[in-house]
Structure formats: structure tokens, C-alpha cells
Amino acid sequence: METLTATHLSTESDPLERLLLEPLLWDRPETMHLLDRMMMHGVPGLSVALIDDGRLAWARAYGVREVDGQDTVTPETRFQAGSISKAVTATAVMRLVQEGRLDLDEDVNAYLRSWQVPPNGDWQPRITLRQLLSHSAGTTMHGFFGYSVGDALPSEAKTLDGLPPANTRPVRVNLLPGTQFRYSGGGTVIVQLVLADVMGEPFPQLMRALVLDPLDMKQSSFEQPASNQDSSRATGHHIDHGIVHGRWRVYPEMAAAGLWSTPSDLGRWMCDLLRAYRGEQGTLLAHGTVRTMTVPQIELHVGLGLFLHGRGDGFRFGHEGDTAGFQAEVFGFPSTGAGWAVMCNSDTAQTLRRDVVRTLATDRAWADLAQVRQPTPDAPPDLQNLAGVYRLLDEQVRVVHQDAVLHLHVPGQAAIRLVPREDTAFMCAGVNAEVVFQRGPTGAVHGFVLRQDGREMGADRVQHVLSRWPGAT
């Protein structure tokens, strides 16, 4: 990569000049220059906006729009926002709810004209917007692959029925609605079609009228496909640092993953939600409407189109997003009106995003995020009980307890030390991954979740305690 520079909208010192790193992962000083960190992780471009007291405080941009290119990222450079699209779409839904044009608890088939939620055998599911926005409608399709630039694109109905040229399976209800959380981009496409059928307009135009224009989000659009000649857009990059074919993928599942935006525009959207939550006047949504969005639904971390984290002053809401070659996140603290938006043009940006947020949180003393966790000096008392054999992606992996240390043994790889972070959460030193062991109602460990690159993989326990490596003497 070349020509890594920073662009500023404020004159105050840049807290991101040196990033505060996770000390558990690095045998080196606890800070590193931002541009060095970007080079290390293969992230050509980074754009950040800071929110303070419900207002956009500053926006800064670093790096280049495309690897080995000379066009620098600016605060106006647009990135794919991925699943943040779901949260912005939820804002449009809630605006129509507060205007009395939609009911969160009505059967969506009452609104749909161009397609209907089909029966499952002889059972006709009844699903609602409340369930779709909280991922509890029992719908299938976690996410979407996108299409190459120039490919034929399916309509919403063809996407939902899995018919050509759709490249995904049909979206169907195969869980009892309202009984459990299961993330479903497919369900959000149903929301997209509800809005289009009710409003009688194409989805990008109605989102501009309902949300983007009122919030002055001038650099944002749900148009798919985007112009390949648009020089204001960043290019996506894969995990091998290669450029995404065509510079980016196309997502006709617009409500689920189709938003192009900037951190400044996402910050404007978040500012409006924060001010409404605090009861300030002149916001797109009413105080009660935003409060409804932040009431936990099927699980404590799930609102309506928003994910909820933390408690007390550390309570925050927002969403993350990723598409092929892009990663993004936006969150805000309603207690203080603080928040952030970060967008990157690489699949490998998760650790960089985490370091950016940690650095901002420490600089601003944000509750629940500012404290950098230090390595646990002593192993948890039940460390040995976490050891055993687990099944991960059809492979048997081993967690071994030896000399008061846990190691993860993946077939074909050298052992990876698990460094304690919390009682059942461990960092995989050197590979930027996290292992979180899962307990059942009785407290027994039944598996773990491996988190890396913004994705989670579950592993079930198949055998208990291993005290040394197989074959060790």
C-alpha cells in the first residue's frame, strides 16, 4: 500500500495517531502508529467519525481508496455499510409506525401485495414487523453473497423464493415465530418488500424520502448497483489483500446490506437517535419511538433493528456491518450522547476497528469500553474443566490443560495458547481470535464459540478433560 495520509475536519489533536492495542495479543509496546497498524492488517482505507453530546464532533480519514493507488480516502469517501442497512431501514419502519401507517404487530401478509409469506406444509406462519426487526420471525437466510458488477439481479420476490437469477435459497419460516433469536437477512428482505408495497415506490427512493434526506445524509444511498465510475467510493479488499472483482459486490437485498455511506452520515443518523432517546426536540423519530426500538425483545442484546450492549452509563446501541471487502460499525451512548462510526475497505479490519474504538474510548473515558483489560494473573479455578475435545466445522479440536495453561489444538496446526480474558473468554495469542466457552443451565461447559474476522463459529463438546497433548510423554 502507498500514500497513507489523514484528512481532518477539526483542528484538535488526533487521538488515533497512535492506537492503543490489546496487550494480550502482542509482545510489543501497547501502542502503534495507526498507519503502521493499517499496513500490518492489510487495510488500505479507514474513515472515522466521533459523536459528542449528540452532535457530530469530527470526521477523519486515513489511507487510500484502493491498494497501491494514489487516491486518498476523505471523510466524503463512501463505503459499503453492510448490515447497518438493517438499522437504517428499521428507522424508516418506525417512522411509518409512529405515523400510524404500519403496525409492528400486524401480520405482514396484510401489507404485502407483490409476494406473500408462503405456508410451510399445511401451516401458514403469521409473522410481524416486530419479529422481523428483532430477528425472531423464524425466517431463514442469515446473509447474502452479493452479485458481481454486471450480473442480472433478482427482484425482491425472486430473492425470497430463491428463483433465478437469485443466488441464494428461498426465505422461509421454519421456526415458531416469536420464540427465539436467529439472525436473518432474509427476514429483512421481507421488510424491504413491505415498505415498497405500502409506499408504492422503489426501495431506494422511499428510503431517501423517509430517512436519508431528512437527516441530511447526502453521501448515502441504497441504490444497487452503484456506479462503477463513481470516484467517491472505496474499493473492497479481500483477506488476501486482493481487490474485490469489479471493486465491490452488488446487493439487491438493499434493506439487509445495500447501504453505501460515510461515517459522517452514519454519525448524523446516530445523533438523531441519541437526541430522540434523550427527549430532545427536532428529531426524525419521537422519544417514545426510539425507546421502543431499544427495549430488549427476544434476547437482552436485541432491540428493533438495533443491538444493545452494556449497562448503566455504558449502555449503548447500534449495529455492525460487513460485505465482501468492507467492514463498518456505528454505536452511541444515550446517557452522554457520545458515539462513533468506523468504516474500512478490507475483510481484515476487525482488529483494527477494535483498536480504533478502544483508543477513542480511552481518550474520551467512555464507560464500559475505556478500561483495557489486563491479562488475568492466575488461571480461573475451573480452568481444567474447560479442557476436552470439541467438534468445530466437522473437525475434532482439542483444548488441553497443561502447566496451568490452556492450549487450542487444531488438526494440522501447532498448539495455540489461550490467554485468559474473563472467566470463560480467552484470546488466541497471535491469530486475533477469541474463544468463549458456553455453559448450560447447570453450569457445565457444553461448547465454545470461536470469534474471528467478525464471524462466529460454534463448537460442541464431545469429550471431557484432556490434561496433555495426545501422544505427549
- Structure confidence by residue, pLDDT tens digits, 89-103: 999 999 999 999 999
**What is d(CA 130, CA 116) in angstroms, rounded to the nearest whole number?**
17
- Percentage of the chain with pLDDT > 90? 66
249 or 40, which is more confident? 249
Instruction: Indicate the pLDDT class of residue 377, thresholds 50, 70 and 90.
Output: very low
Could you give the angle at which helices 350-364 and 34-41 cross, rounded to 10 degrees? 160
Q: Which stretches of 99-173 are DSSP H helices? A: 129-133, 156-161
Residue-wise pLDDT tens digits, 42-82 = 999 999 999 999 999 999 999 999 998 999 999 999 999 99
5 or 241, which is more confident? 241
| pLDDT the model gives residue 27 | 44
3 state DSSP class of 295: coil
| pLDDT the model gives residue 23 | 54
| pLDDT the model gives residue 458 | 87
Nearest to 235 by CA among 226, 248, 250: 248
Instruction: Indicate the pLDDT class of residue 444, thresholds 50, 70 and 90.
Output: confident
| pLDDT the model gives residue 468 | 39
β-sheet bridge partners, residue 32: 19
Q: State yes or no: pLDDT of 466 exceeds 50.
A: no
Q: b/e per residue, 346-366, with b = 16+ CB within 10 A? A: bbbbbbbbbbbbbbbbeebeb
Q: Please, which contacts does 22-28 make with residues 24 or more away whose CB atoms are closer than 8 Å?
A: 22/351, 22/354, 22/355, 22/358, 22/372, 22/427, 23/372, 23/374, 23/375, 24/373, 24/375, 24/419, 24/421, 24/427, 24/429, 25/351, 25/427, 25/429, 25/430, 25/432
Average per-residue pLDDT in the chain? 88
| pLDDT the model gives residue 34 | 92
Q: Are 372 and 89 in contact (CB under 8 A)?
A: no
Of the listed ranges 170-174, 191-195, 392-396, 422-426, the one predicted with least confidence: 422-426
3 state DSSP class of 400: strand
- Here the cell at position 56 is 457530530
User: Which residues, including other chains, have CB under 8 Å from residue 417's CB and lie 6 or more apart?
Assistant: 405, 406, 407, 408, 428, 429
Model-level pTM greater than 0.85?
no
3 state DSSP class of 382: coil
What is the architecture of the domain spanning 383-463? Beta Barrel (2.40)
Q: State yes or no: pLDDT of 471 exceeds 80.
A: no
Instruction: Indicate the pLDDT class of residue 403, thresholds 50, 70 and 90.
Output: confident
Q: Which amino acid is at 142?
A: H
- Beta strands 425-428; 433-439: pairing state: antiparallel
Of the listed ranges 7-21, 45-59, 213-227, the one predicted with least confidence: 7-21
3 state DSSP class of 177: coil
| pLDDT the model gives residue 31 | 80
| pLDDT the model gives residue 12 | 61
Residue-wise pLDDT tens digits, 256-289 = 999 999 999 999 999 999 999 999 999 999 999 9
Of the listed ranges 150-159, 179-188, 315-324, 389-398, the one predicted with least confidence: 389-398
> In angstroms, how far is the first alpha carbon of the chain from the final one?
47
Tell me the CA distances in angstroms from 432 to 29, 154, 218, 283, 401, one per residue in order: 17, 37, 36, 40, 21
Q: Are 46 and 62 in contact (CB under 8 A)?
A: yes
| pLDDT the model gives residue 80 | 98
Q: State yes or no: pLDDT of 10 exceeds 60.
A: no
Superfamily in which the 80-364 domain is placed by CATH: DD-peptidase/beta-lactamase superfamily (3.40.710.10)
* Cell numbers 487495510: residue: 43
- Here the cell at position 200 is 408504492
Torsion angles phi and psi, residue 312, rounded to 5:
55, -135
Residue-wise pLDDT tens digits, 305-345 = 999 999 999 999 999 999 999 999 999 999 999 999 999 99
Nearest to 81 by CA among 244, 275, 265: 265
- Here the cell at position 334 is 444515550
Q: State yes or no: pLDDT of 191 exceeds 90.
A: yes
Q: Are 5 and 63 in contact (CB under 8 A)?
A: yes
The domain locations on the chain are: 80-364, 383-463
Torsion angles phi and psi, residue 198, rounded to 5:
-70, -40
User: Which residues, including other chains, have CB under 8 Å from residue 116's CB and lie 6 or more apart?
Assistant: 109
25 or 112, which is more confident? 112
Q: State yes or no: pLDDT of 237 exceeds 80.
A: yes
Q: Are 185 and 256 in contact (CB under 8 A)?
A: yes
Q: What is the CA radius of gyration of the chain?
A: 23
| pLDDT the model gives residue 380 | 46
**What is d(CA 42, CA 239) in angstroms, rounded to the nearest whole number?**
8
- Summarize the confidence of residues 423-427 as an average pLDDT: 81
**What is d(CA 309, CA 296) in angstroms, rounded to the nearest whole number?**
10
DSSP letters for 193-227: HHHHHHHTS-HHHHHIIIIITTTT-TT-B--SSPP
| pLDDT the model gives residue 364 | 93
Q: State yes or no: pLDDT of 251 exceeds 50.
A: yes
Nearest to 439 by CA among 397, 396, 376, 380: 380
